[in-house]
Chain A
Amino acid sequence: MNVELTVNGEAHSLDVEPRTSLADALRDELGLTGTTLGCEHGVCGSCTVLVGGTAVRSCLMLAVQAQGEEVRTVEGLADGDRPHPLQEAFAAEHALQCGFCTPGFLMLLAGALAADPELGGDERRLDALLASNLCRCTGYAGIRRAAQRVARSDRSADSKDMRAPHIQA
């Protein structure tokens, strides 16, 4: 079946089987392998992407259901060569080890913080959000610090200075 959707600002027309998940379409049809697949049944959250600005499990959504939707993946986070503040914060706070779960956490946080910038300052709600996804290296403390770092910088005027020193724009 034909699906027309926008991914990271670019319009695409795909021919997929109805049973193809959005995750598989992104990876296999569009080559966007930044979206990783862990469990393929909605438990681990590594395949989290934004659909219409909301974080969803792309393994639990069919590609044909994304007809007419705006999808954003981890490849669409950076602004050209400039990493997204979340990506910079993840590097600065050592919020990843193996990196497999990282795209899912980035998209989970990107959606949640865009909808509710106050979230990063509320530890209880932030922890409930981060429990959506699994990090098998158990780097949750670093991930939480990264989210809080972005929330802090959003509230301060000098958000440009939060860049991690070892990342070159």
Chain B
Amino acid sequence: MKPAQFDYLAPDSLDEAVAVLAERGPESRVLAGGQSLLIELRYRTSRPALLVDLNRVPGLSEIVLSDNSVHLGALVRHAQLERAPFDDPLADLFRQVAPYVGHPPIRARGTFAGSLAWAHPAAEWCALAMATGAEIELRGPAGRRAVPADAWFRGAFATACGPDELVTGVRLPRPPAGSRVAFAEHRRTHASFALAAAMVVLRLTGGRVGWVRIGLVNAADVPLRAVEAERVLTGELPSPELLAEAAARAAAEADPADEPHAPAAYRRHALGVLVRRCLARAVGDGTHDPAGDS
């Protein structure tokens, strides 16, 4: 279907974009990559009076590394993360996850920050933001603020973003040096959204789990961090039994809904399997069970 009519503005600066949203925010939508927003406009599930296109605002496409964090501007595309040009556990995770986001032509335009603003329950980047403790940076009439990921996601397609605010970027803390990462996704067909997926960032210290973060995709109406499972692992020797126990704990923390092709119990089971596979890969001790269905 064709979208309903709307006005279009492509401001040259953030100040101008902020000013426009201060005036017309509630009747506006902000356009970054547009690979989800344009679909919603076409379905007419969203009928904004005004589209504010950020693509003419300079400086939003940068990936900026500092000692403790990585900053992604609001226009950093999925494709930039697919070939993340730095050596770091976070970059490893970007490169592992990005190929699961859409297809190459979608990844050429869609943005990381846009995915977080969209807040689809099956979005891999949203779970990555939760797992790594990202902060979403906003600007609005009242100035700047940063919202931690665990306060950002309010439900399916619902975030803490105000109607007169816009996302200017995302700051992700860098995991401890030497962390290893793993990502595993289950989808019905090659081109389907994630039925469930898991990611692990883990550092071994003296053979024990020194630090670990676990993110769950499509495990609830919001992305989840499996904190109970992390607690099971921290400080312990990563035996196959421990990994299985942590995976079971992560599955218990999930709150999946029934989907046409996957009842909740099946999705919960799949999450446990995916977490266990990720853990086995991240500790790299050969406990990975290729059959993986237990």
CB of B150 within 8 Å of the partner chain: no
Contacts of A19 in B (CB 8 A): 2-6, 41
Interface size on A, residues (CB 8 A): 30
Stretch at the interface among B21-29, B103-111, B221-229: B103-111
Q: Are A40 and B103 in contact (CB under 8 A)?
A: no
Contacts of A67 in B (CB 8 A): 10
Contacts of A48 in B (CB 8 A): 105
Contacts of B99 in A (CB 8 A): 128
Stretch at the interface among A53-61, A82-90, A91-99, A148-156: A53-61
CB of B146 within 8 Å of the partner chain: no
Q: Are A18 and B8 in contact (CB under 8 A)?
A: yes
Interface size on B, residues (CB 8 A): 29
A-B contact count (CB 8 A): 80
CB of B258 within 8 Å of the partner chain: no
Shortest Cβ distance from A131 into B: residue: B190
| Smallest CB separation, A110 vs chain B (Å) | 12
Knowing A112-B104, A132-B104, say if A1 contacts B39 (CB, 8 Å). no
Q: Are A41 and B43 in contact (CB under 8 A)?
A: yes
| Smallest CB separation, A27 vs chain B (Å) | 13
16 more A-B residue pairs beyond the given contacts A57-B35, A57-B109, A59-B42, with a C-beta to C-beta distance below 8 A: A18-B5, A19-B2, A41-B43, A42-B35, A42-B39, A42-B106, A43-B191, A54-B105, A55-B104, A56-B105, A57-B105, A60-B35, A60-B39, A62-B38, A128-B99, A128-B104
Q: Give the A-binding residues of B (Cβ under 8 A).
A: 1-8, 10, 31, 34-35, 38-39, 41-43, 51, 53, 55, 99, 103-106, 108-109, 190-191
Q: Give the B-binding residues of A (Cβ under 8 A).
A: 1, 17-19, 21, 24, 40-43, 45, 48, 54-57, 59-62, 64-65, 67, 108, 112, 128-129, 131-133
